[in-house]
Structures are given as C-alpha cells and as structure tokens.
Structure 1
Amino acid sequence: MKYKIYIVEDDVSISTVLKECIDKYGFQVVIVEDFEKVMDGFNEYNPDLVLLDVNLPKFDGFYWCRKIRQQSKVPIIFISARDSGMDQVMALESGADDYITKPFYYDVVIAKIKSHLRRAFGDYAPKIEERIVEVDGLRFYPERLELEFKEQKLIITKREGILIEYLMKKYPKVVSRDFLLEKIWDDIEFVEENTLSVNISRIRKRLQNLGIDGGIETIRGAGYKLNKTW
C-alpha cells in the first residue's frame, strides 16, 4: 500500500524538497497550490497524513488543522519556523499529532511520518472493532463520523457526532440540555445559551439531507429526543 501525504506549505522551495525526499520512500505526495481550497484538495485526495505549516496565505495552519479534524483523524504534523511553546500548544490544541520546527533534518521528517503512519494504520494501530449506533435503519459510525440512511452517507463534525450518538443511544427517551452540554463542553459556565441550539439545528439539517424531516424534537423545559419519523 502506498500511503498518501498531503503537504500544505507555501514556501515552494521547502515543499518541493520535501516532496522529492518523501517520494524516495515510496509515498504518494500532493502539494497544495490553492490555499483558499485546502479542504477541497484534502477531500479530493483523501490523504493518510498531512504536513502543515503555520504561516499560510488567507488562513493559518491552526485554522486548517481544526477544519481537517472536523472530519478526519489522519495524522497531522506541523512543520513551522515558529518555535515558541505557545505555537506548539496551539497546534496540539487544534488537533495536531506532532510539531517540527524549521530548520529541520529531512531524515527526522521521514522518521516522524513513518512513526505516525505505523501508529495510525500499521502494527501499532489499535485493533478496535468499529462501533455502530443504529435506530431502525439510521446508522452512525462514531469512529469515522459518518451518518448512513437508506444507502445515503454523509460526514458530520465531531461535536455533531457526540450529540447524535447520545440522542440515538437514549432513544426514545428525552436527553436533557445539561447532559448534552456536559458531554461536549468541559466548562458549561462559559457556553452561550444558544450554542447547543445551533448545533442541534445543524444535526436536523444533516438528517434532512438524508431524507429525514423532523428527526429531532425539542421538548420544552426538558431537552431533546430523537423523533423517529421515518
């Protein structure tokens, strides 16, 4: 199997040498060219690992890291000239797996790539049976954040996934707002009142895209419940 590497680096000299170096080890490599369409390239290429710079045109690497994490668990390694501790903390908090500072040895980058691929897909990858949460034909796959209904599939965000998983697990019971808030946000004192409502609305739209109207019912003063309308 040839693993696919996605390089998001605006310094052409660095990205070119990185590609040449990585190519030698049998990986497939794609370099981003349009930095306003990083996610379009990611979805089209479906890489196994991402090399990501911090300083990028339009949006920085932290932004793109968070966007990737909304739909994928592939290893993300930052490669950046910014070597402050705060930058490294922000990278990890955004969902990155590693952080390499420039200038760097290309052999170290290759070793890091191999290590993270082994942990994600190889001998060190956790051998876990995929979980499936199902309610009468509506299926949710938590590990891949995928909703499925009548052969239609769509990818949802991690936060949406947590909400729909608990609504499905608790069906046909009502799930309280406080319970859902605690499962998603560590400190509910700093969550705006409408934040949960906004995320519930997004899930309703996701279900509508699958052909399910009125899939989540609001129970005034209590919370929400999955409404099996199909």
Structure 2
Amino acid sequence: MFKLLLIEDDESLFYEIKERLTGWSYDVYGIQDFSQVIQEFTAIKPDCVIIDIQLPKFDGFHWCRMIRSRSNVPILFLSSRDHPADMVMSMQLGADDFIQKPFHFDVLIAKIQAIFRRVYHYNSEPIVLKTWCGATVDSEQNLVSNETGSIELTKNEMFILKRLIEQKNKIVSREELIRSLWNDERFVSDNTLTVNLNRLRKKLDTLDLGQFIETKVGQGYMAKEEDSLYD
C-alpha cells in the first residue's frame, strides 16, 4: 500500500480527500503540527506528498523546498491559487505536478496513478548505466557524472533525459515526451514540460552538457552525442 502525506490545513477538505483516497487503497497521513512538517515527513516516509500552497506558519513552497533538499519523493501541489507564476514556482522547486482547486477527484486520482507508474514501476526495470557525451547516467541514483563533477536530478528530469538519450541524435516531439512521462496528456499543461526541460538543461550546464540538449523549434528536443557536433 502506497503512503500519501496530505499537507492540507482545511480539515473538511483533508478528510474528504483522505476518505476518497483510502477507497483507492492508499494509506493517507496528515500533519499534526504545521511547524513540524519536516519532522513528520521524516517519520512517515511517504511515497508521495500532496501539498497546499497556503498553510499556517510557512507556505507550501517553503516545505517543498525543504523536502526536496533531502528527498526525491514525488510532490503534487493542490491549490486554489490560479496565477501561472504559482505553477511555475512549484515546478522550479522540484514539484512533479500542480492541480488547481476546485478539482475533479478523477483528475487527482489520474495524476497520482501516473506519478506512481512513472516513479515506482520503472524502478522494476533492470538498471543500466548509460554513457552520453562522456558522462555516466545512473538512473537508479538519479545522478549524472563526468570529469567536471556530479549532479542529482529529480525523477522527472532523469526520466526526460533517459528518453532523449534512448533516441539520441533524433528529435523527440513534445507530445511523445508528455505521453511517456505523464501517460495521459489531457491532464498536463504544456508549460510543465517546458519548466522541467529548462531545469534539466540548467543543471546539465554545470557539467558543460546543457548545450547537447537541443531545442528544435516546432518539433521537439534532441540529445546530441558529442562527436556528432563536429561531423
């Protein structure tokens, strides 16, 4: 049974969501003390975190940043705030998705199931270290390393990089990435993929690899092999 940590201070909404998710065989936990979110997160060890933005003490962005600094657990924002900057901020902080309130419960379930399929079912595949442009790509540890150093990616970023490397020197369309990453593109904003790609490229820049993720305007993205740049 997957464990979900629902960080929501609206008690009526919390218990409504908990009841519905429990019906889907999820084990749902809440926060007892909103000044001790990290301590409770550490004790529960959830498989996924669902978090509101507006919370007592500190907002959801603060707790997302704190959780992401110590864990790659999937994070899903659930908020009544509808400004595009809130979604962008959540993605930049490492969240996996964003749902605006009010929402249809089927959408929430679809997104949770997509996250679990992506994050946990892929872990059952044999782990193979890949090499790309002189770097080692370790999808089990979510690490990319070369002689310059090493970086840690979120699960979304690693998934995207793996898909691009698997078709290196070929254009992978945005639609293909969205379908393979979220399984059902009807529930995904196009901006979410852009934020994840930009964040991935920025991290790769620290290893001098960002230039090898090429944007093909109107077509998609390509992971180029280093030697092909000089052909």
Give the TM-score normalised by structure 2: 0.56
* Structure 1 gap segments, 5+ residues each: 132-140, 146-157, 168-181, 185-230
* Cα offsets for 1:2-41 (capped at 9, x unmatched): 1100000111111110100000011111011211111111
Q: Does 1:183 align with 2:181?
A: no
User: Which one of the candidate residues 127, 130, 140 is aligned to 1:129?
Assistant: 127
Question: For the residues of structure 1 that align with 2:64 and 2:124, how far apart are their CA atoms?
Answer: 23
Match of 1:33 in 2: 32
**How many Å separate the matches in 2 of 1:130 and 1:26?**
32
**Aligned equivalents of 1:46, 1:130: Cα separation in 2:** 27
Match of 2:202 in 1: none
State the partner residue of 1:17.
Answer: 16
**Contact 1:118 1:125 (C-alpha < 8 Å) held by counterparts:** no
Q: Deviations over 1:108-134 (max 9, x none)?
A: 111111110110002x45846387xxx
Q: In the alignment, does 2:114 pair up with 1:99?
A: no
Distance 1:119 1:67 in 2: 23
- Mapped to 2, the partners of 1:66 and 1:127 lie a distance apart of 29
**Partner of 2:6: helix, strand, or coil?**
strand
Alignment of 1:44-123 (within 5 A): 44-122=43-121
- Check conservation: 2:127, 2:140, Cα contact below 8 A: no
Letter in 1 for 2:127: E
- Give the direction of change, closer, same or farther, for the CA distance of 1:107–1:94 in structure 2 (3 Å limit): same
* Residues 142/69 of structure 1: CA separation in 2 closer, same or farther (3 Å cut): farther
Where structure 2 has 5 or more consecutive residues not aligned to the other structure, the ranges are: 130-137, 151-204, 208-231
Number of corresponding residues: 150
Query: Which aligned pairs between 1:132-143 and structure 2 lie closer than 5 A?
Result: none
Contact 1:72–1:144 at 8 Å: present in 2 too?
no
Distance in structure 1 (CA, Å) of the matches to 2:128 and 2:41: 24
Letter in 1 for 2:48: L
TM-score by length of 1: 0.57
Higher helix share: 2
Question: Contact 1:51/1:76 (CA < 8 Å) preserved in 2?
Answer: yes
Task: Give me the whole-angstrom Cα distance separating, in 1, the residues matched to 2:25 and 2:75.
Answer: 19
How many angstroms apart in 2 are the aligned matches of 1:183 and 1:16?
44
> What letter corresponds to residue 91 of structure 1 in structure 2?
S
Distance in structure 2 (CA, Å) of the matches to 1:76 and 1:67:
12
Alpha-carbon shift at residue 72 of structure 1 (Å): 1.2
Aligned-residue offset at 1:166: 3.5
Write the deviation string for residues 125-161 of structure 1: whole angstroms up to 9, x where unpaired.
5846387xxxxxxxxx99559xxxxxxxxxxxx9xx9
| Two-structure CA RMSD over aligned residues (Å) | 3.3
Amino acid paired to 2:90:
A
Change (3 A) 1:144 1:89: same
Relative to 1, partners in 2 of residues 1:37 and 1:73: Cα closer, same or farther, differing over 3 Å? same
Q: Deviations over 1:52-80 (max 9, x none)?
A: 00001111101111111111111111000
